[in-house]
Amino acid sequence: MKKFLFATAMIFAAGHAMAAESTNNSTPVTEPYHYGTHLDIAKVISVSRSHNDCEVGTQRMVYVDSQGAEHAIRYDVVDNGNGCNS
């Protein structure tokens, strides 16, 4: 019985470790940016494109911090691109 409980515990531990590993490889949850939030950005991976209609739009940036962890933030921007007449 002890061997069965030990084997069951080992299988559970291995499954939990694999689930944690798969979570680390997935896309990070996008957090909203708030004014004054400290961002530890070591490398920008991607920035979503904004629209070209001279309005406030939302962009998403994925980056890696100095510890190697991947993060995603959402923030508002005003696009002054090709769609603006001013």
Higher pLDDT, 22 or 56: 56
Does the pLDDT of residue 79 top 50, yes or no?
yes
Show me where the domains of the chain are located: 2-78
Task: Read off the amino acid at residue 73.
Answer: I
Q: How confident is the model at residue 20 (pLDDT cuts 50, 70, 90)?
A: very low
CATH for the stretch 2-78: 2.30.140.50
pLDDT tens for 1-16 read 555 455 555 555 554 4
Whole-number pLDDT of residue 67: 95
pTM: 0.60
Whole-number pLDDT of residue 55: 77
